[in-house]
C-alpha cells in the first residue's frame, strides 16, 4: 500500500463501516493526515443512503423509506458520532463542574439525557428525510449527499481551531496539529463533491433544477455549517476547557440535522 493512500483508507476505516481491508496503525500522524479526507467519507455515506432511500421510495411511502435510510445511515457510521452526541448530552446537560463533565464523558454508560437526546435527534432526522423524499428525488439526493460532507468538513475545522479539553490524553489530542492547508484541502473536496452532486442531479432531472440551489449548496451550507458549528463548538469549549472526541461527533450529528433542515427550507 502506498504511503499516500494510507490516510484515505484510514479516514474510511475510522469513520465508517465500509469494508476497508487494510492493516493500519492509527498513530497521531496518520489520524491528522486522514482528517482532510473526511468529506469523502461523508459523500460515500450520503451516496449509499440516498441510493437506498430512492429505491425504497419507489415501493414504499416516504416515512418507512426514511426509517430504512436512517437505519443504514447509523449502521454505516457504526454509531460513532451518535455515541459522541449521547456522551456530550449527558455531560453538558448535567450542569456539573468541568472535571465532572469530562468524567461523565469518559463513562461508557449512557444516562437519561443521552438517551433522550439520541431519540429526539433520530426522530428529527427521520422527519427531515421523509419531507425531503416527498419533495422529489432531486431534492433528497443532493441534500443527503451534501449534508454529511459539510458536517464532516466542520469537524476538521474544529480540530484545527479549538484546543483539546484533556491535555495529553483522549482522542482529540491525537488530532492536535492539523494545519490550515488540511482544512483548505478538506473544503476543496467538499465544494467539488457539492458540484458533482448538483450536476448529477441535474442530469437525472433537469426540470427540477433551480438556480437558488446553487446558492444553497455552495454558499448557505458552508456558511451555516461554519456559523452554527462555531457557535456550538465555542460554547462547548468554554464549558469543558476545549473539545473532545465526543464533542467532535456531537458537532457532526447536530450539523447534519441543521443542514438537512436548511436544504428543506430552501426548496
Where are the domains positioned within the chain? 5-265
pLDDT at residue 151 in the model: 97
Per-residue pLDDT tens digits for 90-120: 999 988 899 999 999 988 888 899 999 999 9
Number of CB atoms found within 10 A of residue 216's CB: 22
Question: What does the block give as the cell for 52?
Answer: 437506498
- In whole angstroms, give the CA distance from residue 21 to residue 31: 17
Confidence of residue 22 (pLDDT cuts 50, 70, 90): confident
**Do residues 170 and 233 make contact, with C-beta atoms less than 8 angstroms apart?**
no
pLDDT beyond 90 at 166: no
Average pLDDT of span 6-32: 91
3-state secondary structure (DSSP) of residue 96: coil
CA distances from 2 to 5, 6, 22, 69 (A): 5, 7, 11, 34
Burial grade of 23 (CB within 10 A; 0-12, 13-18, 19 or more): exposed
**Do residues 253 and 82 make contact, with C-beta atoms less than 8 angstroms apart?**
yes
Displacement of CA 248 from its chain's centroid (Å):
9
- In whole angstroms, give the CA distance from residue 226 to residue 237: 16
Question: What does the block give as the cell for 108?
Answer: 461508557
pLDDT at residue 176 in the model: 83
**Do residues 15 and 38 make contact, with C-beta atoms less than 8 angstroms apart?**
yes
Per-residue pLDDT tens digits for 126-158: 999 999 999 887 778 888 999 999 999 999 999
- Predicted TM-score (pTM) of the model is 0.93
Amino acid at each position: 500500500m502506498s504511503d499516500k493512500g494510507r490516510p484515505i483508507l484510514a479516514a474510511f476505516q475510522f469513520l465508517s463501516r465500509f469494508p476497508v481491508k487494510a492493516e493500519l496503525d492509527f498513530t497521531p500522524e496518520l489520524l491528522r493526515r486522514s482528517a482532510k479526507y473526511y468529506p469523502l467519507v461523508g459523500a460515500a455515506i450520503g451516496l449509499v443512503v440516498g441510493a437506498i432511500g430512492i429505491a425504497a421510495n419507489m415501493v414504499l411511502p416516504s416515512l418507512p423509506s426514511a426509517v430504512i435510510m436512517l437505519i443504514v445511515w447509523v449502521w454505516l457510521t457504526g454509531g460513532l458520532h451518535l455515541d459522541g452526541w449521547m456522551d456530550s448530552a449527558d455531560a453538558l446537560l448535567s450542569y456539573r463542574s468541568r472535571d465532572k463533565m469530562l468524567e461523565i464523558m469518559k463513562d461508557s454508560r449512557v444516562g437519561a439525557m443521552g438517551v433522550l437526546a439520541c431519540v429526539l435527534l433520530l426522530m428529527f432526522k427521520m422527519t427531515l428525510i421523509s419531507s425531503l423524499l416527498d419533495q422529489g428525488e432531486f431534492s433528497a439526493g443532493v441534500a443527503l449527499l451534501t449534508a454529511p460532507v459539510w458536517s464532516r468538513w466542520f469537524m476538521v475545522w474544529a480540530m484545527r481551531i479549538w484546543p483539546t479539553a484533556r491535555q495529553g490524553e483522549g482522542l482529540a489530542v491525537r488530532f492536535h496539529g492539523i494545519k490550515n492547508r488540511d482544512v483548505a484541502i478538506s473544503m476543496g473536496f467538499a465544494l467539488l463533491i457539492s458540484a458533482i452532486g448538483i450536476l448529477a442531479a441535474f442530469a437525472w432531472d433537469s426540470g427540477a433544477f433551480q438556480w437558488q440551489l446553487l446558492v444553497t449548496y455552495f454558499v448557505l451550507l458552508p456558511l451555516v455549517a461554519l456559523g452554527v458549528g462555531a457557535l456550538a463548538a465555542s460554547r462547548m469549549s468554554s464549558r469543558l476547557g476545549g473539545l473532545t472526541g465526543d464533542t467532535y461527533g456531537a458537532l457532526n450529528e447536530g450539523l447534519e440535522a441543521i443542514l438537512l433542515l436548511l436544504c428543506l427550507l430552501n426548496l
